[in-house]
């Protein structure tokens, strides 16, 4: 096992930087990354404190800093210590600069735009939490996305992930014995997406859930025939209403959410809107 210190510096929340680092580390085997996360780096004093830790734990430094003076200070200190340092977005911004024929610049209204995005995300999270598991169906028209699927098809974690990306998301469990509200079939604004999963995988997830609750792991909830009937019921509903379907059998929550966001943006474009 190879151990590496990874220092992540951002002048914002650092969410983008964390995702880049996570994706990059995931490409390597037998690597233990010790992450040192430094968000909201906006002053020389703060940077100097961080450099003390970097000096004590040398490793790769990844950063996204818009302040040119602060960035130069970081780069100079890293060179003095002989540490590799990478501006994580430079390659992308340079390519865009060449294509667009213009330089990047800090716009006066940027903070206001970021604040709006932040509050929109908070609103999306609050909406999603309040509309989990079929609750509040009378407000579903306000949602961006509604996820439908059988029990334990990863509706809630996918909803929360989408909410963190700024999408108001509701979800509804599909149970053959208890049809969903009729309003589900007449929604106009939200995109309804069906989540499905293979019977074998679903049974495994449900059995693990029962065990975690100290309940008997052999019930109708995990009976193969009944599970197949549930899934067939859900798939018929998806097909009857022309809803796009995401198979969660081999997808992570992140992968499923990315596919759903792509579907959502394709829908916007088809309607003549702009991407979210």
Residue 194 lies in domain: 112-270
Domain final position from 51, 78, 100: 100
For residue 100, pLDDT beyond 70:
yes
Its pTM stands at 0.63
CB 137 within 8 A of CB 121: no
pLDDT value for 91:
83
Specify if 25 maps to a domain.
Answer: yes
Query: Reduced to 3 states, what is the DSSP secondary structure of residue 196?
Result: strand
How far apart, in Å, are the Cα atoms of 235 and each of 91, 134, 193, 259?
A: 43, 18, 11, 18
Number of domains comprising the chain: 2
| Kind of pairing between the strands at 31-38 and 191-196 | unpaired
Specify if 107 maps to a domain.
Answer: no
Specify if 261 maps to a domain.
Answer: yes
Domain final position from 100, 124, 154: 100
Whichever domain contains 64, its CATH number is 3.40.50.2300
Once rounded to an integer, what is the mean pLDDT over residues 253-270? 91
How far apart, in Å, are the Cα atoms of 63 and each of 42, 60, 159, 204?
A: 12, 10, 30, 41
Binding site as annotated, residues for ADP: 149-156
CB 216 within 8 A of CB 235: no
Helix axes 68-81, 44-56, angle to 10 degrees: 20
Statement to judge: residues 26 and 163 lie in one domain? no
114 vs 121, higher pLDDT: 121
Binding site as annotated, residues: 149-156
Once rounded to an integer, what is the mean pLDDT over residues 192-213? 94
Look at 70-74, 89-93, 127-131 and tell me which has the smallest mean pLDDT. 89-93
For residue 105, pLDDT beyond 70:
no
How far apart, in Å, are the Cα atoms of 273 and each of 190, 261, 266?
A: 14, 14, 10
For residue 275, pLDDT beyond 80:
no
pLDDT value for 114:
54
pLDDT value for 109:
46
């Amino acid at each position: 096992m190879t151990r590496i210190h990874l220092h992540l510096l951002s002048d914002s929340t650092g969410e983008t930087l964390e995702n880049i680092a996570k994706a990059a580390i995931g490409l390597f085997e037998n690597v233990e990354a010790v992450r040192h996360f430094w968000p909201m780096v906006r002053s020389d004093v703060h940077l100097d404190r961080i450099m003390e830790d970097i000096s004590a734990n040398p490793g790769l430094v990844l950063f996204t800093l818009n302040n040119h003076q602060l960035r130069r200070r970081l780069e100079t200190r890293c060179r003095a210590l002989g540490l590799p340092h990478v501006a994580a977005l430079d390659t992308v911004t340079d390519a865009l600069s060449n294509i667009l024929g213009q330089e990047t610049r800090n716009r006066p209204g940027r903070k206001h735009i970021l604040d709006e995005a932040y509050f929109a995300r908070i609103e999306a999270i609050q909406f999603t939490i309040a509309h989990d598991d079929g609750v509040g169906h009378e407000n579903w028209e306000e949602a961006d996305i509604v996820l439908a699927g059988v029990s334990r098809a990863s509706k809630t974690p996918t909803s929360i992930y989408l909410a963190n990306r700024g999408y108001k998301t509701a979800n509804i469990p599909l149970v053959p014995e208890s049809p969903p509200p009729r309003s589900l079939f007449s929604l106009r604004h939200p995109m309804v997406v069906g989540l499905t999963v293979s019977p074998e995988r679903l049974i495994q997830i449900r059995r693990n859930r029962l065990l975690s609750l100290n309940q008997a792991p052999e019930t109708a909830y995990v009976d193969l025939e009944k599970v197949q009937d549930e899934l067939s019921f859900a798939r018929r509903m998806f097909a009857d209403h022309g809803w796009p379907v995401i198979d969660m059998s081999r997808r992570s929550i992140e992968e499923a959410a990315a596919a759903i966001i792509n579907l959502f943006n394709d829908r916007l474009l088809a309607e003549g809107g702009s991407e979210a």
